[in-house]
């Protein structure tokens, strides 16, 4: 065996040992970032003409670089929208990478795409969209929202030639995810924000549309409702919004990137009634459906409209359209051509565990939020900002300033206790800094929550 082959075998064993230890560790070290200058001084030059060797590079990753990260699946990582991929999904993510499947076209990736599509069928079934609805896995919610909005805009243009050349306009609420505004810049669309951080109601949407100028109304191509806001877990009035969109003949998109996982939870599923009337839906399995990063999904009521908007043409791509290569081509339904089969880890985990276990895991996040609300009500120094919604809890430490919340966040992180970050909540007097928990990891314990609350002295 060649020297290079021996080193590769040894490195493979080291990597697998690390992966096994990492997968089985339910409470990894809560790392914290270091300045780039400090990291450079610790690892030195790693990209050199001769290389530093696999063993040294891997040890630098394990001993230095990994410790300067915060594992998203730490049970006391309750900031932003964390993630908690199943051990099965993490394991199969290794298999997915090792298998080197190009997931853009059926001709190259039929087996992997078929498995992805089995997982997609389950996602679509959760939405209760009509027969014929289907979707594709993307790199995340931003790519999914962008793909949906490109589809909506092209459909709007196709309906009326006078729309071509007009700058499109979409309506959403201030509680919508920040990526929607960023995505609108990419497609050069305007965004009208309805000033409602609580549930956006159909009546508010109707008022907003009625108050548009004739030219604005002509430019309106889509409405985006939220199925679980990132900040507070609020679900918009999906049925009411759907009714307005149908009446006004406007594309209805639901961004359920975070909250979409709760479609699998019977206790809250009725809150999403109306989502089955959407023209498109975003769900991120890497958030509340326990997949590794990165795995988003966009689902269309009419996938043919997405294909008309996204299908690419090129002389070297023509073979993929031949009869012998006929099959589902994910590249035709979203913005990316080159893509990995990022839905495979979800498929394997679903196949291994079953959908019932997924439902129980999602319900756990909801019950943790409810339990936290009760804990807060029993304490004199903290109070709820609003009732817990889905797996989000907003609360305040009485008497604290924004600086107090910041210092509390950094202190807990530095001491390895938890990563919990503040957010802002709109009040009649402006925006207030408050604390926020977001529960995703079913291995988070009530004791973890009590420990964090105890640090709010």
**CATH number for the domain that contains residue 205:** 3.40.640.10
Q: In angstroms, rounded to a whole number, what is the distance separating the alpha carbons of residues 395 and 372?
A: 10
Name the maximum alpha-carbon separation found in the chain: 76
Average pLDDT over residues 290-299: 97
Average pLDDT over residues 413-431: 93
Q: In angstroms, rounded to a whole number, what is the distance separating the alpha carbons of residues 301 and 276?
A: 9
Model pLDDT for residues 170-201, shown as the tens digit of each residue: 999 999 999 899 999 999 999 999 998 899 99
Model pLDDT for residues 431-443, shown as the tens digit of each residue: 999 999 999 999 9
Is residue 324 over pLDDT 80? no
Tell me: do 59 and 179 sit in the same domain.
no
Give domain status of residue 190, yes or no: yes
Tell me: do 194 and 109 sit in the same domain.
yes
Q: How confident is the model at residue 313 (pLDDT cuts 50, 70, 90)?
A: confident
Q: Which residue has the higher pLDDT, 426 or 345?
A: 345
Tell me: do 174 and 266 sit in the same domain.
yes
Pick the last residue of a domain from 353, 375, 405.
353
Specify the pLDDT at position 26: 79
Is residue 130 over pLDDT 70? yes
Model pLDDT for residues 252-271, shown as the tens digit of each residue: 999 999 999 999 999 999 99
**Is there a contact between 369 and 440 (Cβ–Cβ < 8 Å)?**
no
Average pLDDT over residues 381-402: 98
Fill in the DSSP letter of residue 271. G
Tell me: do 38 and 60 sit in the same domain.
yes
pTM of the full structure: 0.96
Give domain status of residue 76, yes or no: no
Give domain status of residue 146, yes or no: yes
Specify the pLDDT at position 11: 87
Tell me: do 433 and 306 sit in the same domain.
no
Helix then strand then coil, in percent of the chain rounded to 5, is 50, 15, 35
CATH number where 389 lies: 3.90.1150.170
Tell me: do 211 and 332 sit in the same domain.
yes
Specify the pLDDT at position 322: 56
Pick the last residue of a domain from 353, 378, 408.
353
Tell me: do 334 and 361 sit in the same domain.
no
**Is there a contact between 179 and 141 (Cβ–Cβ < 8 Å)?**
yes
Specify the pLDDT at position 314: 73
Pick the last residue of a domain from 323, 353, 383.
353
Tell me: do 341 and 391 sit in the same domain.
no
Average pLDDT over residues 10-24: 91
Averaged pLDDT of the chain: 95
For residue 37, what are its two tokens? Answer: 């200058």
**Is there a contact between 239 and 274 (Cβ–Cβ < 8 Å)?**
yes
Q: How confident is the model at residue 381 (pLDDT cuts 50, 70, 90)?
A: very high
Specify the pLDDT at position 384: 98
Give domain status of residue 102, yes or no: yes
Average pLDDT over residues 371-379: 98
Q: How confident is the model at residue 316 (pLDDT cuts 50, 70, 90)?
A: low
Give domain status of residue 245, yes or no: yes
Q: Residue 445 — φ and ψ, nearest 5°?
A: -110, 160
For residue 296, what are its two tokens? Answer: 């988003």
Q: How confident is the model at residue 3 (pLDDT cuts 50, 70, 90)?
A: low
Specify the pLDDT at position 353: 98
Total tally of structural domains belonging to the chain? 3
Specify the pLDDT at position 427: 87
Specify the pLDDT at position 155: 98
Is residue 335 over pLDDT 70? yes
Specify the pLDDT at position 357: 98
Specify the pLDDT at position 186: 96
Give domain status of residue 307, yes or no: yes
Residue with tokens 């599923």: 269
For residue 47, what are its two tokens? Answer: 């990209």
Tell me: do 11 and 41 sit in the same domain.
yes
Q: Tell me the pairing of strands 251-255 and 392-397.
A: unpaired
Average pLDDT over residues 207-224: 98
Specify the pLDDT at position 156: 98
**99 Cα distance to chain centroid:** 25
| CB neighbour class for 43 (10 Å; exposed up to 12, middle 13-18, buried from 19) | middle
Q: In angstroms, rounded to a whole number, what is the distance separating the alpha carbons of residues 218 and 172?
A: 17
Q: How confident is the model at residue 318 (pLDDT cuts 50, 70, 90)?
A: low
Give domain status of residue 229, yes or no: yes
Give domain status of residue 291, yes or no: yes
Tell me: do 339 and 195 sit in the same domain.
yes
User: What percentage of residues in the chain have a pLDDT greater than 70?
Assistant: 97
Which are the contacts of 189, defined by CB distance < 8 A and separation ≥ 6? 149, 153, 167, 168, 169, 170, 221
Tell me: do 111 and 171 sit in the same domain.
yes
Tell me: do 389 and 334 sit in the same domain.
no
Q: For the residues of 192-227, what is the DSSP string, one character each?
A: EEES-SSPPPHHHHHHHHHTS-HHHHHHEEEEEEEB
| Range(s) of the domain holding residue 142 | 93-353
Distances (CA, A) of 27 to 22, 121, 259, 353, 414: 9, 33, 25, 22, 16
């Amino acid at each position: 065996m060649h020297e290079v082959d021996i080193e590769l075998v040894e490195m493979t064993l080291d990597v697998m040992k690390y992966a096994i230890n990492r997968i089985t560790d339910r409470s990894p070290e809560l790392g914290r970032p270091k300045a780039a200058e400090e990291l450079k001084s610790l690892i030195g030059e790693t990209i050199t003409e001769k290389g530093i060797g696999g063993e040294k590079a891997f040890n630098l990753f394990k001993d230095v670089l990994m410790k300067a990260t915060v594992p998203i699946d730490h049970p006391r990582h309750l900031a932003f929208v964390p993630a908690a991929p199943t051990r099965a999904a993490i394991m199969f993510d290794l298999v997915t990478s090792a298998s080197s499947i190009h997931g853009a076209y059926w001709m190259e990736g039929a087996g992997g795409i078929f498995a992805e599509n089995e997982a997609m069928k389950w996602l679509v079934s959760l939405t209760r969209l009509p027969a014929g609805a289907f979707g594709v896995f993307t790199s995340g919610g931003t790519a999914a929202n962008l793909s949906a909005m490109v589809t909506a805009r092209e459909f709007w243009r196709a309906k009326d030639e006078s729309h071509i050349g007009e700058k499109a306009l979409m309506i959403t609420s201030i509680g919508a995810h920040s990526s929607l505004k960023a995505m609108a810049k990419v497609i050069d669309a305007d965004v009208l924000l309805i000033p409602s951080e609580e549930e956006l109601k159909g009546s508010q949407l109707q008022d907003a549309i009625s108050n548009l100028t004739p030219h604005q109304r002509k430019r309106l191509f889509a409405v985006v409702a939220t199925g679980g806001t990132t900040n507070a877990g609020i679900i918009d009035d999906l049925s009411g919004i759907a009714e307005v969109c149908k009446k006004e003949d406007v594309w209805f998109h639901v961004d359920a990137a975070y909250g979409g996982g709760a479609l699998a939870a019977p206790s809250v599923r009725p809150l999403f009634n109306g989502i089955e009337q959407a023209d498109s839906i975003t769900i991120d399995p890497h958030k509340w459906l326990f997949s590794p990063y990165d795995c988003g999904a966009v689902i269309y009521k009419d996938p043919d409209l997405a294909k008309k908007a996204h299908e690419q043409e090129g002389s070297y791509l023509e073979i993929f359209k031949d009869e012998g290569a006929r099959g589902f081509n994910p590249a035709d339904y979203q913005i990316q051509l080159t893509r990995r089969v990022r839905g495979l880890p979800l498929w394997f985990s679903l196949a291994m565990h079953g959908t019932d276990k997924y439902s129980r895991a999602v319900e756990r996040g909801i019950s943790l939020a409810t339990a936290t609300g009760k804990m807060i009500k029993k304490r004199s120094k903290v109070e709820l900002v609003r009732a817990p919604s889905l797996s989000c809890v907003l609360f305040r430490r009485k008497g604290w300033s924004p600086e107090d919340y910041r210092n509390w966040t950094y202190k807990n992180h530095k001491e390895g206790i938890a990563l919990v970050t503040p957010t802002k909540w709109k009040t009649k007097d402006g925006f207030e800094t408050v604390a926020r928990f977001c529960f995703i990891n079913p291995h988070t314990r009530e004791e973890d929550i009590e420990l964090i609350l105890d640090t709010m002295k």
